């Protein structure tokens, strides 16, 4: 049911404080989900504020439209990926704030038929948009051992990638998430681990199926071009791969680590500045939230161009 697509937004108060700086402003929620962050931004941005929401999951869009129907034309939901925000949302630009809350949502994990969970049986799917692309099972059918090892190491940072990959490929085809998780657990050799032995493998397959890092790289470039002067880009990450990418991009956009000329000046003048140099950790700011343990919010602000001398 659509109404089941609800979850409590992570770092909500910190996001509102850092992102909603203009009453009556225009805001883009690139990871709409069930509309939790979008609703809070609509409430915080005054009676004239608008939110454009993007999500690739049709069930999330349906739930958000239903939940936010009372806001009328202040809210617009668009089916698509946040990496394509430049083409999907340019009609409403420039924005006073853009938000990305990365990763898989609780409702997606909680629905076994979506194939994200290794704790409940379902098809080996893992697509955030079930109408597009290949499933995780189809991806596994196509991969050879070096290809799967690369995915497990790159997206899951799995130190035992080779032995796990070999067992997965030997067990093809895969139809059950529980069977796949059991294969990973048995082949990995992990004992008494704090997390399920299949956690990194399922993360890696999900990220590969949905091209999550590729979408994030596209979104980082697009978002900076869609922000108004004084506007802010906020990104909530949940694991080190995403956070390193965001941190590196934010430092580059703000002039940290960019090439210098002979006098030590950036070759290109930065037009962005970091808010909260180290970001805001969910475990500190949102300790009562079960998903906050690994969450981190980073915010970048578009500042005025320096006046020519």
Q: What is the phi/psi pair of residue 101, to 5°?
A: -110, 100
- Distant-in-sequence, close-in-space partners of 170: CB < 8 Å, separation ≥ 6: none
| CB 279, CB 298: distance < 8 Å | yes
Residue 193 pLDDT: 83
**Could you give the 3-state DSSP secondary structure of residue 161?**
helix
| CB 169, CB 137: distance < 8 Å | no
pLDDT in tens, 286-297: 666 666 678 999
Instruction: Give domain limits for the chain.
Output: 107-210
Residue 262 pLDDT: 59
pTM of the model as a whole: 0.91
Residue 284 pLDDT: 67
Residue 194 pLDDT: 86
Residues of the chain falling short of pLDDT 70: 1-7, 257-270, 284-292, 306-309
Please state which CATH class domain 107-210 belongs to: mainly alpha
3-state secondary structure 221-272: HHHHHHEEEEEEEEEEECCHHHHHHHHHHHHHHCCCCCCECCCCCECCCCCE
In terms of residues, how long is the chain?
309
Distance of CA 181 to the CA centre of its chain: 24
Residue 2 pLDDT: 43
């Amino acid at each position: 049911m659509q109404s089941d697509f609800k979850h409590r937004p992570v770092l909500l108060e910190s996001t509102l404080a850092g992102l909603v700086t203009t009453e009556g402003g225009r805001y883009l929620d690139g990871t709409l989900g069930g509309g939790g962050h979008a609703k809070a931004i609509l409430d915080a941005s005054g009676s004239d504020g608008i939110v454009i929401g993007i999500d690739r999951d049709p069930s999330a869009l349906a739930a958000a439209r239903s939940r936010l129907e009372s806001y009328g034309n202040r809210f617009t939901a668009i089916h698509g990926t946040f990496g394509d925000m430049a083409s999907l949302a340019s009609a409403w630009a420039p924005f006073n704030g853009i938000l990305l809350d990365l990763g898989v949502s609780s409702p997606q994990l909680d629905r076994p038929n979506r194939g994200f969970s290794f704790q409940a049986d379902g098809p080996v799917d893992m697509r955030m948009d079930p109408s597009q692309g290949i499933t995780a099972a189809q991806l596994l059918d196509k991969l050879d051992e070096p290809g799967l090892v690369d995915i497990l190491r790159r997206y899951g940072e799995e130190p035992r990638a080779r032995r796990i990959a070999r067992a997965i490929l030997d067990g093809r085809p895969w139809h059950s998430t529980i069977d796949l998780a059991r294969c990973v657990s048995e082949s990995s050799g992990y004992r008494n681990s704090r997390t399920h032995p299949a956690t990194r493998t399922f993360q890696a397959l999900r990220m590969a199926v949905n091209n999550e890092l590729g979408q994030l790289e596209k979104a980082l470039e697009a978002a900076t071009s869609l922000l108004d002067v004084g506007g802010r880009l906020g990104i909530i990450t949940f694991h080190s791969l995403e956070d390193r990418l965001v941190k590196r991009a934010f430092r580059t956009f703000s002039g940290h680590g960019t090439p210098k000329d002979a006098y030590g000046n950036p070759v290109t003048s930065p037009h962005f500045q970091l808010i909260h140099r180290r970001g805001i950790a969910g475990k500190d700011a949102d300790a009562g939230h079960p998903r906050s343990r690994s969450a981190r919010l980073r915010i970048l602000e578009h500042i005025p161009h320096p006046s020519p001398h």
